[in-house]
Amino acid sequence: MRSFIIRLYEDRIPAGHAPVYLPRMPRSVYVVQGGITVEFSDGTQHQRQESAWVGQDPIALVAGEEDAVLWRWELVAPDAPAGTLRSAPGATSTLKLQQEIELDSQFDWLMRCDRVDFPPGGVALTHVHQGPGIRCCLKGEITIETQGKTTVHPAGSAWFELGHAPVLAPTTEATDTSFIRCFILPQGCRLRSSLRYVLPEDAGKPKRQHYHVYGERMLTLP
């Protein structure tokens, strides 16, 4: 087993700001508001609102004509320095959540960024995943019941899921709920759902949530 830290930052980059440079490491960048251009080793990609970039290259974040709000996940070694934006005086970076994780060195791993959408009153029935990750509520409200604890997460609130610990996740009746997720999975999960239902009777029940995968990348671990 090898230890790592998964971190989630919220970055705010003003319109027209000079490029912000970030070093090589596994990361996902989700655009909450505005838009951003990502420059990487062999190309450039514009990311509009409600899209995400996933990769491992050193990158530059190039501001557009609107202020941008980003959620940025990074997977780093336990002794890595803080990943706040440096040499970017007009931008701000806030650590929302970090968590130490252990990854089995006998597996190869990938990073996936996706979105889960629920109608009012939707619920993710008791389930596990094949790897750990950090989620952040985009809109609505979701309750996470796991390991004997219950926490409620409104829009902007982040939480960690271990993966192999069962989770039951009902959402509010008042409105739709969505969250963005970045998690680390064995490469065998490529293009496949990592979810497994714990209770046999839940597997055949109708599921009201919808999933959208923004991207996944095979990892060379730091």
Structure confidence at residue 195 (pLDDT): 95
Domains and CATH numbers, the chain: 2-103 (2.60.120.10), 109-218 (2.60.120.10)
How much is the pTM? 0.96
Structure confidence at residue 222 (pLDDT): 65
Mean pLDDT of 28-56: 97
| Position 18 confidence tier, pLDDT thresholds 50, 70, 90 | very high
Beta strand 43-48 with 141-146: parallel, antiparallel or unpaired?
unpaired
CA dihedral for 15, 182, 3, 60, sign (positive or negative): negative
Spatial CA neighbour of 134 closest among 78, 101, 183, 76: 183
Structure confidence at residue 85 (pLDDT): 84
Mean pLDDT of 81-97: 89
Whether the CB-CB separation of 138 and 115 falls below 8 Å is answered with yes
Helices of type H across the chain? none
Structure confidence at residue 82 (pLDDT): 84
* pLDDT higher than threshold 80 for residue 35: yes
Tokens of 70: 């980003």
Structure confidence at residue 51 (pLDDT): 98
* pLDDT higher than threshold 90 for residue 187: yes
Could you read off the pLDDT of 110-152 as tens digits, one per residue? 999 999 999 999 999 999 999 999 999 999 999 999 999 999 9
Q: Say which residue, 59 or 84, is predicted with more confidence.
A: 59
Mean pLDDT of 48-73: 97
